[in-house]
Amino acid sequence: MSNEILLTRRGLFMKLGVLLNGLVGVALAVPFVRYLFASATRASQALPWVQLGGVNQFPEGETRLATFRNPIVMPTDGKTADTACWVRRIDGEQFQVFAVNCAHLGCPVRWFPQAGLFMCPCHGGAYYRDGSRASGPPERGLFEYPFKVENGVLRIQAGELPTPGTSAPSSANAAPGTPATFFKGPAAALTAATKGHRPPCA
């Protein structure tokens, strides 16, 4: 009979105790982690459509500030759920709806109709009227919301803070990182304004 005792009664109970606590820990970790990551793991469903107002509020050829209540809200959000956007009515039912957030670091850009530029107060980014990058640190044009016009009402698909890493480049803008040239800006502006008829000497 060997004197070596491989596992004592006490030792077994301690190991069982560790195992038990481990199991409880794992069981609790599931809801804890799910709770913690709730905002990051919510189902990637399509963003809802938000009403911006009657088409006639937006004169043709002009760019106006519009506001809407973010469709995804919590009861404690207060004013922070109110969002602003720039609405450019090209003509008829042709629109461009830009986020106010600069594509550089998200500061609110302001529209200067006389110069036909959006200017950012933070680091001096500037954009043309069609949202394409004009100058400064942004690597791309302004973020655009998808829009549709139904029964004379302008709607946009919104609900998420647009950031450089989360938003795809919009149709009117060049791919991110494209170096700006002398001709890109006005050419893009002309293209948008003349609906595809490129001027001969762009």
Task: Report the residue from 49, 53, 90, 137 that binds another protein according to the rule CB under 8 A.
Answer: 137
β-sheet bridge partners, residue 108? 101
Length of the chain: 202
Neighbours of 94 (CB within 10 A): 13
Q: Which helix (DSSP H) or strand (DSSP E) does residue 96 occupy?
A: strand 94-99
Minimum separation from the CB atom of position 7 to another protein (A): 37
135/173 Cα distance (integer angstroms)? 13
Site residues (CB under 8 A) for another protein, limited to 174-193: 177, 182-183, 185-186, 189-190, 193
Using alpha carbons, select from 70, 82, 90, 179 the residue that is nearest to residue 131. 90
- State the pairing for strand pair 110-112/49-54: unpaired
| Closer residue to another protein, CB minimum distance, 15 or 123 | 123
Q: Quote the least distance from Cβ 45 to another protein, whole Å.
A: 11
Binding of residue 7 to another protein (CB under 8 A) = no
Query: Cα–Cα distance between 198 and 61 in angstroms, integer?
Result: 19
Tokens of 53: 């107002």
Span 46-105, contacts to another protein by CB under 8 A? 65, 67, 70, 72-84, 100-101, 104-105
Taking CB under 8 A as the criterion, the residue among 21, 94, 163, 171 binding another protein is: 163
Residues that bind another protein (CB under 8 A): 37, 39-40, 42, 65, 67, 70, 72-84, 100-101, 104-110, 112, 114-117, 119, 121-124, 126, 128-129, 134-139, 159-161, 163-166, 177, 182-183, 185-186, 189-190, 193
